A and B are shown apart, each in its own frame.
Chain A
Amino acid sequence: MVTLTIDNQTVTVAEGTTILEAAKSANITIPSLCYLKDLNEIGACRVCVVEIEGITRLVPACVNVVSEGMVVHTNSARVRSARRTNLRLIMSQHDCRCAVCLRSGNCTLQKLANDLNLFYLPYPTQIPKKRWGYDAPLIRDESKCIKCMRCIQVCDKIQSLNVWDVSGTGSRTTVDVSLNRSILEADCAYCGQCVTHCPTAALSARDDTEKVFDALNDPELVTVIQIAPAVRTAWVESFGLDPETFTVNHLVAALRAMGFDYIFDTNFSADLPIMEEGSEFLERFTHTENYQWPMFTSCCPGWVRFLKSQYPEYTDNLSTAKSPQQMFGAVAKSYFAEKMGIDPHKMRVISVMPCIAKKSECAIDSMKDACGDPDVDIVITTRELVRMMRMEHLDPTVLKPQNFDSPLGSSTGAAVIFGATGGVMDAALRSAYYLVTGKNPDADTFAQVRGMDGWKEAVFQIPGAGDINVAIVSGLGNTRKLMEQLRKGKVSYDFVEVMACPGGCAGGGGQPIHDGQELAEKRGNVLWHLDKASAIRYSHENPDILELYRDYLEKPLGEKSHHLLHTDHHSWTMPLRPER
């Protein structure tokens, strides 16, 4: 242990603790900007500088460790002056028209500027030009970038994709797609972790809200909206409310008020892949010789992009089942349209997703199985949903909870957990067990797959089927580790669930941003609670699903479901991982 003095307080911390963390432990906040604990400790912004007695120059608190007897002043006149000057320098190259910024009110730079009372800027502004198209769902606005390098670090260290890099040198140093590629040429998974770790609006998801409003305003069109499981854990965060009190039914009410014609739950179509993927797994499991092994889940488009770019030789290991979003679209524009007598060409299927990659998934050319139009037309993120609500002046606290529409609105506990790491595996095993044995297991039989570990393994015995080896990973860095071990033959599994974002969709790149906080676990727990509280906890017991199969699809893996609910992962290409 090391004892030091910070702002006249005696503080004792473990050796190797940074000055910033030591101060935090004594409830002394040192303002910081580029710093992200364990991820970006590089002392780039020089906002967290402190004065240490006996040291001439100021020292950044984020990247330097304490030593015995050190005397630190975190807010001396000299420190304050340096902090304010450095912040002003940053703002001289930042487009400070905050009123028209996506992150206004949720921007670390703006908050610091306010906290440090920077009410004027003495320097001429030198704002770089934004040069970025709207073809990719990931947008970089250079005029907002403060070169904190967090995006580079999160992509390198957490996601292992190295999509971002420092570009140029000297005064023109900036961040850009690595190896001088454009984003469309890059092997980016569109996971959006760089977006949720950006302190400003330099990185964002493409805003598609206008397209949604256009659809709502067109009297010719029928709007059908689906809400993904993880959205319900996070949307009210932006209003400062508790997701266990303000549930998805409040959200349904909000969407109804906005004028959506049909409001459904993606959970319905999360039960659907369980039926399809579970059946597919049993087919593969009982005929291993016909398939590449193990089987991978295919519901996460970030993961599918990752696999196709990093390990394309494993593409056939992916379940051919579409993701819940795409299954929903295909069913909505076929079964539902027929049932309701709606011209599917006049229908607009919109999804609210915790995800950026979903925006590119719905645009895949082969995802047009129901009527020839895209099965899903528009994807908005949880953040865009919140922005739309605010545009409509909707206050969740005065909304009366409402139910989803029928028949694509019912769901089970097994579906809601899709939004948390391990959830897909848990749900799939519940139904696989039933499909093999004809009996339901206890719904918590497979609890081992839950939790926040980045790489989980378990073996389950299903009577009549034998031992099933499963693995669950979340985060693409963890995924790469698993893939490398798999490739070397060091591990072997039957079924692997992969989610590109750490913690699964709850921590998705389209979720509300809270700088410095990782909320995937907290949000995931909301979903596990919902599962526990559900009346039905098995996908194969969802009455609407049973009806859909009875009236329309006939059976899992049948001809119709093959056409609507499965996809050929080879039908589109991904830029391959570059040689480095």
Chain B
Amino acid sequence: MSRLEIKTPSQAQSVVESLYRTVERRIAASPPGLCPVDMALNFLNLCHAQSCGKCVPCRIGLGQLSSLMEKVLDGTGTMRTLEILEQTAQTIVDSADCVIGTDAANLVLMGLKGFREDYVEHVTHHRCLGNLKNPVPCVALCPAGVDIPGYVALVSHGKYQEAVKLIRRDNPFPIACAYICEHPCEARCRRSMIDDPINIRALKRYAVDHAGVVPNPPCAPATGKKVAIIGGGPGGLSAAYYLALMGHQVTLFEKQKQLGGMLRYGIPSYRFPREKLDEEIASILSVGIEVRTQVDVGVDISFEALKAEYDCLYIAIGAQTDKKTGIPGEDSYGVISAVQMLREIGDNQMPDFSGKNVVVVGGGNVAMDATRSAIRLGAKKVSCVYRRRQADMTALAEEVEGAIAEGAELLTLQAPLRVESDEDGNAVALWTQPQVIGVMDSAGRPRPNNASVEPQRIPADIIIIAIGQGVESHGFEQSGVPVKRGTLVAKTSSQLQNMDGVFAGGDCVTGPATAIRAIAAGKVAAANIDEYLGYHHVIDVDVEIPSPKFDNKPPHGRINTAEREACVRKHDFQCIECGMSDEEADLESSRCLRCDHFGYGNFKGGRVGRW
């Protein structure tokens, strides 16, 4: 018997550890639409198995909660069962000795509040409100509902033109999305159950990079109906594209010099090369869309005049205004907004930051775009000031890592206090109040609080504010378009509640979001405008999806794309990301589990061929 022993995990323990990792992945791959009561019950059972068993509320109480929930699910529960469930869970929260018990019971309480109607439906009608509407996780989570298993299979078979055609049926921006989509599709990829999600975006990029010029489908016979679209970003262009295919006469009004919206005036070209953007826009316009740039609706032409002239309007003006921090000294020279800076870059007016200290305020993707652009514009030093921790940044992790690799300094837990300027009014420093991270807010993000230390001075010649964008809603509000908290109000059909024939969608309705959500909104608007105009044009595509192979699919690493070396790429605005090699695309595309065919997919919802 030795006095102390080195801890070594037993074989059983290491197998259990790997099971835990599998369970984590599996939970992450839960498809949307599952019965929440059933999921809560099974979480609860897992939690109960973690109990050490010392204390009554946890050892016995969690088990009784489980039995009560079984009763609810089996249809033998009553409203009284729900009362007992709630009261027991509250007692466990109040009296369990440690979080194993309190947190588990809290999960039950959260569910009783959060999806009470599901509980009640089970009790009163012995059935469930949950339902797997779209069983293919990637398609379900793609805002535009692109047929992802379809195009991944086409890539796997070397049919890149067909892949692009298939994507365009639901999304006229395959190239843009190949480069910059935030790929919500990957979040619940069923492949996560065995290894990692398919690298869907990179496969799309492989398809667009290898497809060459892909012609668009012919337009339907002209209907004689006229539609005006306000805003030439991804949302407006998407609506214009589908409406033109449906045979309507589309005129697109854009305030800026060029089309593309945030794809041009927000996203730097090192993420999405300009020539690719221009190629995509040219393809969209080739279906026959009249474009009028540098026309500011409300200034150059009134909203009412458009309403009178056109059968239908679609407002897709995005979220183009910057938000101010409101700190003293914000009006000093050298303090600029990220929106304004990126807009100038979009029109090829490159500011010169040579030898300057640049401080970027914010932690979102726009802040990273500003940071990395500033580096490329010759800044001596670029620091990114953020109130919370790096982990709390809303920017994609790879954007943050990329910025760091390119030499950006992250100054986290610093809240901007004021801008110090010289006698000429030029900014010379940003003063910040160091923060200490605090309790979680209701959304689960920790709140920063002032730390008991002195403010800090960060020397800065240029201060770039990137703390969010707003919608230029004022003019539309005056014309009677409903506005709430700064964004336009439209129904999920994108139709305005109070104004016949006027539709709105994208960032101007949701607040700043992603390109794919704007594209999806444009697609939705096109469909509903078509119906509104009295038509039912069908958008479909004649592409045969290869039948799945029976390959055995053992766990296999996900293939990530490479990036150009940080020390090289930081000097130019050329694309950072390298595309997949043939070998990589082949391996990655063959990892797809084909949920369109296997599982629920061959029964219902596996393929929506047309809209």
Binding site for B on A (CB under 8 A): 16, 41-44, 52, 55-57, 59, 63-65, 129, 131, 149, 152, 165-172, 176, 180
Q: Which residues of A contact B597 (CB under 8 A)?
A: 63
In the complex, the chain B residue whose C-beta lies closest to that of A34 is B603
CA distance A43 to B550 in the complex (A): 14
Interface pair A170/B547, CB less than 8 Å apart: no
Does residue B271 face the partner (Cβ distance < 8 Å to A)? no
Q: B603 to A149, Cβ gap below 8 A?
A: yes
The answer to whether A180 and B75 touch (CB under 8 A), given A42-B602, A167-B131, is no
* Chain B residue nearest in CB terms to A165: B131
**Interface assignment of B33: CB less than 8 Å from any CB of chain A:** yes
Beyond A42-B603, A63-B602, A131-B75, whether A169 also contacts B129 by CB under 8 A is no
B128 within 8 A of A: yes
Which residues of A sit under 8 angstroms from B34, Cβ to Cβ? 169-170
B131 CB contacts on chain A under 8 angstroms? 165-169
CB-based contact A176/B127 at 8 Å: yes
Closest to B36 in A: A169
Point out the residue from A59, A129, A131, A170 that lies within 8 Å of B550, measured CB to CB.
A59
Contacts of A56 in B (CB 8 A): 552
Give chain B's interface secondary structure class.
loop
Indicate whether B53 reaches chain A with its CB closer than 8 angstroms. no
A-side contacts of B132, CB under 8 Å: 166, 169
Choose among A55, A165, A169 the residue that contacts B33 (Cβ–Cβ < 8 A): A169
Q: Per-residue CB proximity of B589-611 to A under 8 Å, as 1/0? A: 00000000100001110000000
CB distance from A265 to the nearest CB of B (A): 44
Decide if B38 touches A170 in the complex (CB within 8 Å).
Answer: yes
Interface digits, B19-50 against A, CB 8 Å rule (1 contact, 0 not)? Answer: 00000000000000111001100000000000
| A44-B603, A131-B75, A180-B125 known; A172 vs B35 contact (CB < 8 Å) | yes
Q: Is the CB of B75 within 8 A of A170?
A: no
Contacts of A176 in B (CB 8 A): 127
CB distance from A412 to the nearest CB of B (A): 45
Residue of A nearest to B73 (CB): A172
Given contacts A55-B552, A56-B552, A129-B75, contact A168 B604 (CB under 8 A): no
Question: Which chain A residues lie closer than 8 Å to B38 at the CB level?
Answer: 168-172
Check if B35 sits within 8 Å of A170, measured CB to CB: yes
Give complex CA distance A516, B403 in Å. 64
Q: How far is the CB of A348 from chain B (nearest CB, A)?
A: 37
CB distance from A308 to the nearest CB of B (A): 24
In the bound complex, residues from chain B placing their C-beta under 8 Å from that of A172 are: 35, 38, 73, 128
CB pair A43 B75 closer than 8 Å: no
Determine if A65 and B547 form an interchain contact, defined as CB atoms under 8 angstroms apart: yes
A52 and B603 contact, CB distance less than 8 A? no
Does B130 make an interface contact (CB < 8 A)? yes
CB-defined contacts of B603 to chain A, threshold 8 Å: 42, 44, 149
Q: What 6 A-B pairs have minimum CB-CB distances, sorted nearest first?
A: A168-B128, A42-B603, A56-B552, A55-B550, A169-B35, A169-B34
B225 at the interface (CB under 8 A from A): no
Contact A131-B126, Cβ < 8 Å, known A44-B603, A59-B550: yes
Distance in angstroms between the alpha carbons of A273 and B293 in the assembled complex: 69
Query: Nearest-CB distance from B8 to chain A (Å)?
Result: 34
A59 CB contacts on chain B under 8 angstroms: 550
Q: Which residues of chain B come closer than 8 Å to A149, judged between CB atoms?
A: 603
User: Are A180 and B129 in contact (CB-based, < 8 A)?
Assistant: yes
Of chain B, the residue at the smallest CB distance from A182 is: B125
Report the separation of the CA atoms of residues A56 and B549 in the bound assembly, to the nearest whole angstrom: 13
**What residues of A have a CB within 8 angstroms of the CB of B604 in the complex?**
152, 166
Measured between beta carbons, the chain B residues less than 8 angstroms from A65 are: 547
CB contacts (< 8 Å) of B75 on chain A: these are: 129, 131
Which chain B residues border A171 with CB–CB below 8 Å? Answer: 38
- A41 and B121 contact, CB distance less than 8 A: no
| A to B contact number (C-beta, < 8 Å) | 56
**Bound Cα distance A149, B125 (Å):** 22
Chain A neighbourhood of B39, CB < 8 A: 170
Closest chain A residue to B76 by CB distance?
A129
Contact in complex: B550, A52 (CB < 8 Å): yes
Interface string of B116-151 (1 = CB under 8 A from A): 000001000111111110000000000000000000
Q: Are A64 and B33 in contact (CB under 8 A)?
A: no
Query: What's the Cα separation between A214 and B38 when bound, in Å?
Result: 47
Assuming the A-B contacts A55-B552, A171-B38, are A43 and B128 also in contact, with contact meaning beta carbons closer than 8 angstroms in the complex?
A: no
Tell me the residues in window 548-574 of chain B with beta carbons closer than 8 Å to chain A beta carbons.
550, 552
Closest chain A residue to B41 by CB distance? A170
B130 touches A169 (CB 8 A): yes
A131's nearest neighbour on chain B, judged by CB, is: B126
Q: Cβ of A64 and Cβ of B550 under 8 Å apart?
A: yes
B126 surroundings in chain A (CB, below 8 A): 131
Task: Give the residues in chain A near B121, CB-CB below 8 Å.
Answer: 180
**Are B552 and A57 in contact, with the CB atoms below 8 A?**
yes
A168 contacts B602, CB within 8 Å?
Answer: no
- A59 to B597 alpha-carbon distance, docked (Å): 13
B550 proximity list for chain A (CB < 8 A): 52, 55, 59, 64
- Could you tell me the distance between the alpha carbons of A171 and B128 in the complex, rounded to whole angstroms? 12
Which residues does chain A contribute within 8 Å of B552, judged by CB atoms?
Answer: 55-57
A-B contact pairs, 25 of them (CB 8 A): A42-B602, A43-B602, A52-B550, A55-B550, A55-B552, A59-B550, A64-B550, A65-B547, A129-B75, A131-B75, A131-B126, A149-B603, A152-B604, A168-B38, A169-B34, A169-B38, A169-B130, A169-B131, A169-B132, A170-B34, A170-B38, A172-B38, A172-B73, A172-B128, A180-B121
Give the complex CA separation of A142 and B604 in angstroms.
21
CB distance from A15 to the nearest CB of B (A): 10
Measured between C-beta atoms, what is the minimum distance from A67 to chain B in Å? 8
Write the nearest CB–CB distance from A228 to chain B, whole angstroms: 35
Q: List 17 other contacts, CB 8 Å, given A59-B550, A169-B131.
A: A16-B547, A52-B550, A166-B131, A166-B604, A167-B127, A168-B35, A168-B127, A168-B128, A168-B130, A168-B131, A169-B33, A169-B35, A169-B132, A170-B38, A172-B38, A172-B128, A180-B129
Bound Cα distance A87, B38 (Å): 26
The CA of A15 and the CA of B391, in the complex, are separated in Å by 53
Cα separation A57 to B593 with both chains bound (whole Å): 14
A149 CA to B75 CA in the complex, in Å? 22
B106 CB to nearest chain A CB (Å):
23
Residues of B within 8 A of A170 (CB): 34-35, 38-39
Complexed CA–CA distance, A64 and B602 (Å): 11
CA distance A167 to B35 in the complex (A): 10
Instruction: For chain B, residues 170 to 191, give those with C-beta under 8 angstroms from any C-beta of chain A.
Output: none
- Assembly CA distance A170 to B69 (angstroms): 15
Q: Give the chain B neighbours of A43 by CB distance below 8 A.
A: 602
Cα A131 to Cα B76 in complex, Å, equals: 12
Q: Give Cα distance in the complex from A167 to B122, angstroms.
A: 12
Q: Give Cα A457 to B6, complex, Å.
A: 87
Complex Cα distance, B128 from A172, in Å, reads: 9
A169 to B603, CA, bound (A): 15
Q: Which residues of A contact B35 (CB under 8 A)?
A: 168-170, 172
In this complex, which of B34, B121, B550 has the most chain A Cβ atoms within 10 angstroms of its Cβ? B550
Task: Point out the residues of chain A lying under 8 angstroms from B128, CB to CB.
Answer: 167-169, 172
In the bound complex, what is the Cα–Cα distance between A180 and B130 (angstroms)? Answer: 10
